[in-house]
Amino acid sequence: MTLQDEFVEQIQMHQALLNKLVYLYADQTEDRNDLHQEILLQAWRSYPNFRGDAKFSTWLYRVGLNVSLTKLNDQKQRQSAALDETAQSTPSTFESDDQLRYVLQQVNTLDRTLIVMSMDGYSNEEIAETLGISPGNVRTKLHRIRQKIDKLWN
């Protein structure tokens, strides 16, 4: 099996992970398509360096996260005006996925990533490895995020 075949097979097995990342970090369909392509391109470029020390899904998540964060930072630098928070609806008007999106928009990027990885069933150790922080720090941050979310809903 060639390197390209291995890569394609791995990507197909982890397509849901990619879709979730893209959905969380891009709002518009065009932006989602662009982000998806950028993640795939960066993953392909980096794949020869994948040593297998971590699970492929953890490695792919990290690549996707890095690409997403870079794209977000680029967008923030291009924006000249701050977001008008008064134009946002209250969370009670949203459906389930939109409620999650609303909550995720209220927290910083690291917290957003912690929430999503935790919801996806990653262990604290896997989250720590992916984000480069300690498992204890992951537990503390998740606890604080949950408290913040509780305040948002009450």
Q: Verify that 66 and 98 share a domain, yes or no.
A: no
| DSSP assignment letter at 60 | H
| Of 80, 106, 132, the domain-final residue | 80
What is the tally of structural domains in the chain? Answer: 2
Residue 74's pLDDT is: 73
Q: Verify that 32 and 66 share a domain, yes or no.
A: yes
Point out the least confidently predicted range of 3-7, 25-29, 78-82, 97-101.
Answer: 78-82
pLDDT band at residue 117, thresholds of 50, 70 and 90? confident
Residue 96's pLDDT is: 59
Q: Kindly state whether residue 86 falls inside one of the protein's structural domains.
A: no
- Give percent of the chain above pLDDT 70: 82
Taking CB atoms within 8 Å and a gap of at least 24, the contacts of 18-27 are 18/60, 18/64, 20/116, 20/120, 21/61, 21/64, 21/65, 21/68, 21/116, 22/64, 22/68, 24/68, 24/101, 24/104, 24/112, 24/116, 25/68, 25/69, 25/71, 25/72, 26/68, 26/71
Amino acid at 109: T
Residue 50's pLDDT is: 92
Compare 82 and 63 and report the one with higher pLDDT: 63
Q: Verify that 8 and 41 share a domain, yes or no.
A: yes
Q: Verify that 106 and 129 share a domain, yes or no.
A: yes
Residue 154's pLDDT is: 64
At 76-102, the pLDDT tens digits run 665 433 333 323 333 343 355 667 677
Q: Which domain holds residue 74?
A: 1-80
CATH code, 52: 1.10.1740.10
What is the Cα–Cα distance from 154 to 142, expressed in whole angstroms? 18
Q: Verify that 76 and 2 share a domain, yes or no.
A: yes
Q: Kindly state whether residue 102 falls inside one of the protein's structural domains.
A: yes
| Of 80, 105, 122, the domain-final residue | 80
